């Protein structure tokens, strides 16, 4: 970015984990604040009455009245090839994969199709205020290229990888242990660390990989220690029973992955609905993270993730928030928090607004070990930001007019809000989405 800029609105961010400390002590709220940005990073922040006196010469803040500036949302589990099959009717996990997912993913042999879907997918993320995501591609290397090429144009910090499957899927979607290793290795060389892109070793889930392929995943991680890992874990009871049949020598589903060395920092396990206390302890001890995907778990009837068990203070697990599109029903993390609140209620617990917004921002950054650069609005952090409109709909405007404090305002936002509440999205200080623009509301980074 060639010059400084500034944004003005209320600011909400976090300085601690509200699952482990008093929530009110973790919330940072600055009404009528100015955020100053230079070279893609935040260089100053504070009340407008103070920061306005030290603004760089020639800088006039972009003012967003009745709005909240937050760190951009972080989605820790989502499938870009499933964009075209969101809202597919009527199945549970294993049937749903065969009826819808595997059919849609076979189209990604065509690079042109992958390019088209990647374009739609990234725009939907940005429209929802999501600036970083952990993304499943397909078995085809060109699906990864299409995704990272489009992410590079927006300069979004994204984490993605080629799905690895060498059994229990259609022949058109199978690789082999060796080919999956070779193609992943080549993609790591091509994309990991290029700009803001990160590579993620991606076995779909244990039932679609042989022991040889899982061993190859462990080898890739040992050879490239700073890559990420993503897969699925204990989402559905039938899936867990299947894993037990396929891996009878392993003591648990998670142990299948631990046995090959991929339960570690920067490993993200989707769902974790049916984890045991031993599983939670393993995640805590190894630094592995779980992605809470409430809209997906409800849509497929998989079960209720126990977030307060996962975050138990004696052995807290890193937990991020995931939409899991396309089993998930919305790209919006606001809508995902709406459902996370209801899941917590069904578990006889209460997810408050401070915990919820932490989960979608700093909490997800901590799950990904990227909390030194994203997920917080503070000096020195990358300026990945979302501007949320308190008055986005007539009902939100009416309800926001009678809130008692910022915590109630955030709760209203997460229950009534969706992509309409996103006024603008900034990536490394550049406005890449503007709701009020006429015509194309998106622009690539300068």
Q: Which domain holds residue 395?
A: 5-71+374-434
Domain stop point among 269, 302, 331: 331
Same domain for 126 and 67: no
Does residue 362 lie within any of the structural domains? no
The stretches of 192-310 forming alpha helices (DSSP H) are 211-223, 237-246, 253-258, 277-286, 294-299, 307-310
pLDDT score of 2 more than 80: no
| pLDDT tens digits, 217-237 | 999 999 999 999 999 999 999
Same domain for 106 and 54: no
CB distance 302 to 273 below 8 Å? yes
| pLDDT tens digits, 132-146 | 999 999 999 999 999
Give me the percent of the chain exceeding a pLDDT of 90: 98
| Residue 92 belongs to domain with CATH number | 3.20.20.140
| pLDDT tens digits, 364-417 | 999 999 999 999 999 999 999 999 999 999 999 999 999 999 999 999 999 999
In whole angstroms, what is the distance from residue 346 CA to residue 294 CA?
12
Domain stop point among 307, 331, 355: 331
Mean local confidence (pLDDT), 408-427: 98
pLDDT score of 38 more than 50: yes
Per-residue model confidence (pLDDT) at position 103: 97
CB distance 400 to 110 below 8 Å? no
Per-residue model confidence (pLDDT) at position 233: 98
Whether the predicted model's global pTM rises above the 0.85 cut:
yes
Same domain for 170 and 285: yes
Same domain for 261 and 144: yes
Mean local confidence (pLDDT), 207-225: 98
Beta bridge partners of 10: 68
290 token code pair: 């779980």
pLDDT score of 1 more than 50: no
| Residue 410 belongs to domain with CATH number | 2.30.40.10
Same domain for 91 and 38: no
Mean local confidence (pLDDT), 320-344: 98
Q: State the chain's maximal CA–CA distance in angstroms.
A: 68
In whole angstroms, what is the distance from residue 423 CA to residue 37 CA?
18
Please state which of the ranges 82-91, 278-287, 348-357 shows the lowest mean pLDDT: 82-91
Same domain for 94 and 32: no
Same domain for 159 and 147: yes
Same domain for 286 and 258: yes
pLDDT score of 313 more than 90: yes
Beta bridge partners of 434: 424
Same domain for 311 and 167: yes
- Which H or E run contains 395? helix 394-400
Phi-psi label, residue 208: left if phi above 0, alpha if psi -120 to 50, beta otherwise: alpha
Per-residue model confidence (pLDDT) at position 446: 73
Tokens 């915590």 sit on residue: 407
| pLDDT tens digits, 131-190 | 999 999 999 999 999 999 999 999 999 999 999 999 999 999 999 999 999 999 999 999
CB distance 1 to 38 below 8 Å? yes
| CA nearest to 78, candidates 344, 364, 316, 343 | 364
CB distance 75 to 323 below 8 Å? yes
Rg (CA), the chain: 21
pLDDT band at 3 (very low <50, low <70, confident <90, very high): confident
| pLDDT tens digits, 71-128 | 999 999 999 999 999 999 988 999 999 999 999 999 999 999 999 999 999 999 999 9
Report the domain count for the chain.
Answer: 2
Mean pLDDT rounded to a whole number for the chain: 97
24 token code pair: 């009110």
Distances (CA, A) of 182 to 81, 161, 213, 400: 22, 13, 11, 54
Does residue 446 lie within any of the structural domains? no
Does residue 155 lie within any of the structural domains? yes
Does residue 142 lie within any of the structural domains? yes
Does residue 412 lie within any of the structural domains? yes
């Amino acid at each position: 970015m060639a010059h400084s800029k500034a944004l003005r609105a209320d600011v909400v961010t976090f300085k601690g984990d509200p699952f482990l400390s008093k929530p009110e002590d973790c919330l940072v709220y600055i009404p009528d604040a100015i955020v100053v940005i230079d070279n893609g990073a935040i260089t100053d922040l504070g009340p407008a009455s103070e920061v306005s006196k030290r603004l760089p010469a020639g800088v006039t803040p972009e003012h967003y009245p009745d709005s909240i500036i937050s760190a951009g949302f972080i989605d820790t589990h989502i499938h870009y090839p499933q964009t075209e099959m969101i809202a597919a009717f009527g199945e549970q996990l294993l049937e749903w994969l065969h009826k819808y997912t595997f059919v849609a993913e076979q189209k990604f042999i065509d690079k042109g199709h992958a390019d088209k879907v990647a374009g739609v997918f990234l725009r939907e993320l940005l429209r929802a205020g999501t600036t970083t995501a952990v993304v499943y591609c397909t078995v085809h290397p060109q699906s990864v290229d299409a995704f990272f090429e489009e992410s590079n144009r927006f300069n979004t910090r994204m984490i993605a990888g080629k799905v690895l499957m060498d059994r229990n899927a259609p022949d058109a979607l199978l690789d082999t242990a060796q080919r999956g290793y070779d193609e992943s290795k080549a993609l790591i060389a091509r994309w990991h660390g290029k700009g803001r892109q990160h590579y993620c070793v991606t076995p779909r889930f244990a039932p679609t990989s042989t022991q040889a392929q899982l061993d190859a995943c462990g080898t890739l991680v040992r050879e490239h220690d700073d890559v990420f890992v993503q897969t699925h874990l204990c989402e559905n009871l039938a899936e867990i029973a299947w894993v037990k049949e396929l891996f009878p020598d392993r003591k648990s589903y998670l142990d299948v992955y631990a046995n090959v060395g991929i339960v570690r920092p920067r490993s993200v396990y989707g769902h974790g609905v049916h984890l045991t206390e031993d599983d939670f302890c393993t995640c805590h001890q190894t630094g592995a993270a779980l992605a809470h995907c409430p809209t997906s778990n409800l849509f497929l009837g998989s079960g209720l993730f126990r977030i307060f068990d996962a975050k138990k203070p004696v052995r807290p697990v890193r937990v991020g928030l995931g939409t899991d599109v396309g089993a998930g029903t919305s790209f919006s993390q606001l809508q995902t928090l709406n459902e996370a609140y209801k899941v917590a209620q069904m578990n006889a617990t209460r997810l408050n607004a401070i915990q919820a917004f932490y989960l979608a921002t700093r909490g997800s950054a901590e799950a990904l070990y990227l909390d030194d650069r994203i997920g917080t609005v503070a000096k020195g952090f990358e300026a990945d930001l979302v501007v949320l409109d308190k008055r986005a709909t007539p009902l939100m405007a009416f309800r926001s007019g009678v809130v008692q404090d910022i915590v109630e305002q955030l709760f209203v936002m997460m229950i009534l809000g969706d992509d309409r509440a996103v006024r603008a999205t900034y990536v490394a200080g550049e406005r890449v989405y503007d709701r009020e623009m006429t015509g194309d509301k998106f622009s690539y980074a300068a």
